Amino acid sequence: MNNRFRRFVNLWITLSAVWLIANGSLAPEVVATGVAISAALGYLLSGLGKVWADIRWSPRVIYTYFIYLGVFLYELLLANINVLLLVFSLRIDISPEIVEVKRPGWSA
């Protein structure tokens, strides 16, 4: 398999996965549109990035991806809970104000 084709396939798979996750639907027309757009973008952009040729799909890579995804989703959940607690807290200990920043070489 030559490098351009490998880059195309890896980019196509990645873009298709992002499309499906972003749309959150497995309706046939959504999947078909995503596959078509991902294929077009993959073909157009596969010559630009050499990183897509270095991806080797194996069970270990997929396992590591899911471990990373689990850690990411856990941290995302914690961040959202922290924001929720800040938004709904009765008293937020902040004092917003406008400040002027003087930078050398800049004139106002």
Residue extents of the structural domains in the chain: 1-56, 58-91
Q: Write phi, then psi, for 101 (nearest 5 degrees).
A: -105, 120
pTM above 0.75, yes or no: no
Query: pLDDT, tens digit, for every residue of 26-68?
Result: 999 999 999 999 999 999 988 787 776 677 778 998 899 889 9
Summary mean pLDDT of the chain:
87
- pLDDT of 28 reads 94
Q: Write phi, then psi, for 39 (nearest 5 degrees).
A: -65, -45
